[in-house]
């Protein structure tokens, strides 16, 4: 039974990865019955009505052509304390094609790591080699309401493909004396000697908390939750 499940998962991954959301794994399951082709749709129709039959309609929703689906990103670890090896260990799937979505299956041979779904946007879609890091807000200098006395977790989305220096961009780098750090620099000379850039931060996602303003007024200067 275990080997069957393993084969099913691998087959499912092979079916979905590299394909589009509209390609169904049932599309190739065609058999013959009495010399006539019978596909999965015909089998379903024999058991009950389909969309539109006898005035029964599915609650359909079609995605727009410029819709960005949420992207599932693997979590490498927590900052501070995460290592360069942990950041490099997790895999990154391609972003969904606009107007579609992708599937995610656990790797039966790999480590079972946590994942998080990030809201779709151009920034998230454009992240070529995505990995997520959980960080406490003081470690990054992210402002939070003064009423909070405990650190708050934020999600740091890192693009490992941008493993080069950029001024005023927050870099994830491996400092040979202090380990992995996250920080921005005005010049390349400011980076600790011998450091290796592992990627750049493209997004930091903050939670909404009860101590933050619950409504929007329409004025940007008043709508900043933090």
The pTM for the full model equals: 0.65
Arithmetic mean of pLDDT, 12-30: 42
CA distance 176 to 132: 22
d(CA 63, CA 95): 16
The CATH number assigned to the domain with range 71-205 reads 2.10.109
112-135 pLDDT per residue, tens: 568 888 888 889 999 999 999 999
Tally of CB atoms within 10 A around 206? 16
pLDDT by residue (tens digit) across 90-102? 888 888 777 666 6
DSSP H or E stretch at residue 136: strand 130-136
Percent of the chain with pLDDT over 70: 63
DSSP letter for 77, please.
E
Residue 47 has a pLDDT of 64
pLDDT reported for residue 25: 43
d(CA 218, CA 215): 9
User: Is 88 a residue whose pLDDT tops 80?
Assistant: yes
Residue-range domain boundaries for the chain: 71-205
Asked whether the predicted pLDDT for residue 40 surpasses 60, the reply is: no
Q: Which residues, in sequence order, are bridge partners of residue 154? A: 135
User: How many whole angstroms separate alpha carbon 83 and alpha carbon 66?
Assistant: 37
| Mean predicted lDDT score pLDDT of the chain | 75
């Amino acid at each position: 039974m275990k080997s069957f499940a393993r084969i099913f998962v691998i087959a499912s991954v092979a079916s979905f990865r590299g394909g589009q959301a509209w390609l169904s794994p049932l599309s190739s399951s065609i058999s013959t019955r009495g010399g006539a082709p019978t596909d999965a749709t015909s089998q379903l129709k024999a058991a009950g009505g389909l969309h539109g039959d006898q005035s029964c309609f599915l609650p359909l929703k079609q995605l727009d052509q410029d819709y960005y689906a949420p992207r599932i990103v693997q979590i490498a670890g927590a900052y501070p304390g995460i290592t360069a090896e942990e950041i490099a260990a997790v895999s990154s799937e391609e972003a969904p094609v606009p107007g579609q979505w992708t599937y995610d299956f656990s790797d039966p041979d790999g480590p079972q790591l946590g994942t998080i779904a990030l809201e779709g946007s151009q920034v998230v879609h454009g992240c070529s080699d995505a990995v997520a890091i959980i960080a406490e807000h003081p470690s990054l200098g992210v402002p939070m309401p003064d009423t909070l006395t405990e650190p708050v977790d934020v999600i740091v989305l890192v693009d490992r493909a941008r493993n080069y220096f950029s001024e005023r961009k927050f870099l994830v780098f491996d400092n040979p004396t202090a380990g992995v750090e996250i920080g921005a620099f005005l010049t390349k000379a400011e980076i600790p000697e011998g450091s290796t850039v592992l990627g750049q931060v493209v997004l930091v996602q903050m939670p909404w908390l009860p101590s933050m303003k619950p409504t929007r007024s329409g004025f940007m200067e008043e709508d900043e939750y933090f």
